[in-house]
Amino acid sequence: MKVNVLKRTKNELKIEVEGVGHTLCNILQRKLLEDENVDVAGYDIPHPLASNPVIYVRTKGNITPEEALLKAVDKLLEVSEEFSKALEKALKT
């Protein structure tokens, strides 16, 4: 996986992520929008045959978009770990 920064300002960040699709982008967008410091979060896959989505984050100025994105990724890791533990428990019974 490769990440390319396309645009970076004080309150905006636009990155391209190679090799991922809607699954990761959708849940990442959801976690970003749960943050009260995030004004806008979204993604676009410009071409259906090239899975290189562009993720866009704009913050309200209290935190940087980089901080918001890293915070959202941390939340995703927590959810993933919680699901993994619940799944392991369910499969043991």
Domain of 68, in residue numbers: 2-92
- Give pLDDT tens digits for 29-88: 999 999 999 999 999 998 877 779 999 999 998 999 999 999 999 999 999 999 999 999
- Report how many domains make up the chain: 1
pLDDT at 1: 87
**What does residue 36 show for φ and ψ, rounded to 5 degrees?**
-65, -15
Give the pLDDT band (50/70/90) at residue 15: very high
What would the DSSP string read from start to end of the chain? -EEEEEEE-SSEEEEEEET--HHHHHHHHHHHHTSTTEEEEEEE-SBTTB---EEEEEE-SSS-HHHHHHHHHHHHHHHHHHHHHHHHHHHH-
Assign residue 75 the CATH number of its domain.
3.30.1360.10
What is the identity of the amino acid at 91?
Answer: L
pLDDT at 55: 97
d(CA 89, CA 20): 29
d(CA 6, CA 26): 19
- Tokens coding 67: 């901080």
The predicted model scores a pTM of 0.86
